[in-house]
Amino acid sequence: MNREEARKKATTLVEMMTVEERASQLRYDSPAIDRLSIPAYNWWNEALHGVARSGQATVFPQAIAMAATFDESIIEKVGEIVSTEARAKYNAVSEEGDRDIYKGLTMWSPNVNIFRDPRWGRGHETFGEDPFLTSKLGAAYIRGLQGDGEYLRTAACAKHFAVHSGPEAIRHEFDAKATKKDMRETYLPAFEECVKEAHVEAVMGAYNRTNGEPCCAHTELMENILRGEWGFEGHFVSDCWAIRDFHEHHMVTKTIEESAALALKKGCDVNCGNTYIHLMKAYNDGLVTEEEITRACIRLYTTRFMLGLFDSCEYDNIPYEKVECREHREYAVKVAEKSMVLLKNDDFLPLNKGGVNTIGVIGPDANSRVALIGNYHGTSSRYTTILEGIQDEAGPNINVLYSEGCHLYKDRVEPLAFENDRLAEAKVVAGHSDVVVLVLGLDETLEGEEGDTGNSYASGDKPDLNFPESQRILAKAVIDTGKPVIVAVMTGSAMDLSFARDASNVKAIIQAWYPGAEGGRAFANLLFGKKSPSGKLPITLYNSLEELPEFTDYSMKGRTYRYMENEAQYPFGFGLTYGKLAIRNAEINVDALKKAAGDPERLKKAGIDLTVTVRNESATAIEEVVQIYIKDNKSSYAVRNHSLCAFKRVAVKPGEEVGLFFSIPGKAFMEYNDEGELVLDSNSFTLYAGVSQPDEHSVSLCGVTPVKVEVEL
DSSP string, 156-200: -EEEEESS----STTTTT-EE---HHHIIIIISHHHHHHHHTS--
- Dmax (CA) for the chain in angstroms is 79
pLDDT of residue 419: 53
User: 126-142: per-residue pLDDT in tens?
Assistant: 999 999 999 999 999 99
pLDDT of residue 600: 81
Report d(CA 264, CA 267) in Å as an integer: 5
The Cα-based distances of 462 to 365, 549, 688 in angstroms read 18, 15, 35
Q: Does domain 581-712 have CATH number 2.60.40.10?
A: yes
Predicted TM-score (pTM) of the model is 0.98
The mean per-residue pLDDT over the stretch 39-53 comes to 98
pLDDT beyond 80 at 239: yes
Q: Tell me if residue 239 is catalytic.
A: yes
The mean per-residue pLDDT over the stretch 542-569 comes to 97
Beta bridge partners, 485, equal: 436, 506
pLDDT of residue 607: 81
CATH tag, 3-321: 3.20.20.300
pLDDT of residue 230: 98
pLDDT of residue 416: 46
pLDDT beyond 80 at 317: yes
pLDDT beyond 90 at 673: yes
Angle at 429 between CA 426 and CA 435, to 5 degrees: 110
CB 65 within 8 A of CB 514: yes
Pick the catalytic residue from 182, 239, 365, 443: 239
Q: Which of 165, 171, 134, 217 is nearest to 555 (CA)?
A: 165
Q: Which of 178, 161, 165, 155 is nearest to 108 (CA)?
A: 155
User: 676-700: per-residue pLDDT in tens?
Assistant: 999 999 999 999 999 999 999 999 9
Domain boundaries, the chain: 3-321, 337-563, 581-712
Report d(CA 438, CA 494) in Å as an integer: 18
Exposure letters 379-395 (e unless 16+ CB within 10 A, then b):
bbeebbbbbbbbbebbe
Beta bridge partners, 629, equal: 644, 688
How far does CA 498 lie from the centroid of its chain?
25
pLDDT of residue 410: 56
Report d(CA 543, CA 495) in Å as an integer: 9
Beta bridge partners, 214, equal: 209
Percent of the chain at pLDDT exceeding 70 = 98
Q: Which CATH number fits domain 337-563: 3.40.720.10, 3.30.70.260, 3.40.50.1700, 3.40.50.300?
A: 3.40.50.1700
pLDDT beyond 90 at 420: no
Q: How confident is the model at residue 568 (pLDDT cuts 50, 70, 90)?
A: very high
User: 429-482: per-residue pLDDT in tens?
Assistant: 999 999 999 999 999 999 999 988 777 767 899 999 999 999 999 999 999 999
Report d(CA 97, CA 123) in Å as an integer: 37
pLDDT beyond 60 at 417: no
Report d(CA 82, CA 51) in Å as an integer: 6
The Cβ-side half-sphere exposure at 154, using a 13 Å CA radius, reads 36
Report d(CA 653, CA 404) in Å as an integer: 39
pLDDT beyond 50 at 413: no
The Cα-based distances of 38 to 17, 35, 271, 309 in angstroms read 11, 8, 19, 10
CB 561 within 8 A of CB 574: no
Q: Which of 147, 167, 145 is nearest to 83 (CA)?
A: 145
- Indicate the average pLDDT of the chain: 96
- Within 10 A of 578 (CB to CB), how many other CB atoms are there? 19
Q: How confident is the model at residue 412 (pLDDT cuts 50, 70, 90)?
A: very low
Percent of the chain at pLDDT exceeding 90 = 94
Report d(CA 238, CA 471) in Å as an integer: 39
User: 592-631: per-residue pLDDT in tens?
Assistant: 888 888 888 888 888 889 999 999 999 999 999 999 999 9
Cis peptide before 86 (omega within 30 of 0): no
